[in-house]
Structure 1
Amino acid sequence: MRKIFFLFLLPVILLNAQVDIPVLKNYANDFTNTLSGPELGNLNSKLWRFDDSTSNQVVFLMISSLQGYSLESFTYETASKNQIGSKKNNNGVLFFVSKDDRKMRIEVGYGLEGVLTDALTSSIQRNEVRPYFKQGDYYAGISAGLNAIISASKGEYRGERKDRDEKVEGFPFIFVLMLIIFLVSLFSKGGKGGRRGGGGGILPWIILGSMTGGKSRGGWGGGGGFGGSGGFGGF
């Protein structure tokens, strides 16, 4: 009977043995002793300046292991318990890393979900953070990730590397538009004595596609808010 009772209580015991939700006293919090004092100082200074100038609050946390806790639950509960961001605007962000589990996540408050969406936070982790983490350079990855989060909250980070086509940035759009109109008109006429019904074919649109290809970007999709933004399993 005692064995049955113990087995019944085992899930509760294991649940209570999981890692506690930490109280965060700084903007940058490292419970793994991975970062040096000066590195933590630099991160704290950066995040404090951002908070002071915008009222948006970004907090970083790194722990050794989740110890069985789900990534989503832990980041949500940590952000909620520590009241990251203002209560009125819900404009907080938690950048979380579980070092030994090789997991990270960016938890976003509803007030910033319009600029820090799921796709964008995943892009930050994949393109800005992960390459450094793979090299074992945690400070560089964390700093790059925080820089991207700050830029994204200002609408300055799009999450995509610039394509080679985008190097021609100063090219006047009006000139391109006039050229396209001219080409469409030219091919639509088909020349004197040309066959009827051709409508110019697809050549003008091939030219148009070559001029504008790779430039369009769809919407980023819905933001997650606390509990649903930017999950990325592993580095």
Structure 2
Amino acid sequence: MGLRVKRVGLIVVALLVTVALRAQAVPAASSLKPQGLVNDYAHVLSPDAASQLEQAAEALNQALKVQVAMVTVTTTGQTDIFDYSYALAQHWGVGAKVAANGQDKDTGLLILLAVNDRKYFTQVGYGLEPYITDADVGTWMRDLTPELRAGRYGAVFAGMLQQIETTLAARMPGAAKQLQAMSAQGQLPSRSLRDARGGPSPAGQLGFIVFLIVIWIIGAFAMRGRGGGCFWPLVFFSMMNGGFGGGNRGGWGGGFGGGGGGGFGGFGGGGFGGGGAGGSW
């Protein structure tokens, strides 16, 4: 009887640990504080990739006053990814009030990857909707599905930035001239993206290792009693449903401070109307 009670108690502890970790991994969109144009809360980008993406996005912002926010989270929990990405874009105010051409307003775009949910959504600001359609961003992300499945999230963001740059140069008044001027100075945004391939960060890998150690310790105590063999299937099921992943799928370690570095002055107060597209991989 005592062993059975002990086993049930350990199972309850394991479930509580899983629930606690899941709760920690799903902060409300309004609680996330941007640290740059790149905010890697899932810790799936290498420092080099994050830095190159930040430089490229900032170059695009300097040239056109178009702000592209690139965000990773482990999961959006029970919140639909459209709602989460929209709340994030609105709360942060991604985009400039007035573009460099002096006529377009609310020129922001937010790309959200929910790594362990294997879902994405791209929110397009009001001012960019005439130039970047829902069909555009949907097609671009579908074309990048192989990169998503391979865990090359840096390459996904790099591919999106290049598509955005090319499309705005062709469609947005004054954009081609501004980008040509930057190209002549060797500052074209896409030139910063050659090596932005982004594997898992050390923080994400360390977090997953710590998680496995904790589970191993709990499991060791559970297996000391007879009949404890049900523990590991339960843990496996909890991990799969909780979305905890290792390797390129990110990790919960390191908190939610992953971003684009210090000194970020914030976004420009752009607005969104829900335009964009999403999907899964």
TM interval, shorter chain, is 0.5 to 0.7
Residue of structure 2 in register with 1:147 after alignment: 162
CA RMSD of aligned residues (A): 2.2
TM-score by length of 1: 0.60
Contact residue 38 and residue 71 of structure 2 kept, 8 A: yes
Whole-Å Cα distance in 2 between the matches of residues 24 and 104 of structure 1?
18
DSSP-derived class of the 1:233 partner:
strand
Determine if the alignment matches structure 1 residue 100 to structure 2 residue 108: no
Show the 5 A alignment for 1:15-94.
19-21=27-29, 22-88=32-98, 89-94=105-110
1:115 deviates by: 1.1
1:131 deviates by: 1.8
Q: Where do 5+ consecutive residues of structure 2 fail to align?
A: 1-24, 99-104, 172-270
Q: Where do 5+ consecutive residues of structure 1 fail to align?
A: 1-16, 157-224
Whole-Å Cα distance in 2 between the matches of residues 150 and 65 of structure 1?
28
DSSP-derived class of the 1:25 partner:
coil
Residue of structure 2 in register with 1:125 after alignment: 141
TM-score by length of 2: 0.51
1:227 deviates by: 4.5
Residue of structure 1 in register with 2:203 after alignment: none
Contact residue 141 and residue 160 of structure 2 kept, 8 A: yes
Asked which structure has the greater CA Rg, the reply is 1
Contact residue 50 and residue 56 of structure 1 kept, 8 A: yes
Whole-Å Cα distance in 1 between the matches of residues 44 and 132 of structure 2?
27
Determine if the alignment matches structure 1 residue 231 to structure 2 residue 277: yes
Contact residue 106 and residue 272 of structure 2 kept, 8 A: no
Whole-Å Cα distance in 2 between the matches of residues 51 and 136 of structure 1?
27
Q: Percent identity?
A: 26
Contact residue 104 and residue 234 of structure 1 kept, 8 A: yes
| Runs (4+) off by over 3 Å | none
Query: How many matched pairs?
Result: 152
Match for 2:156: what amino acid? Answer: G
| Cα deviation code 1:187-220 (max 9, x no counterpart) | xxxxxxxxxxxxxxxxxxxxxxxxxxxxxxxxxx
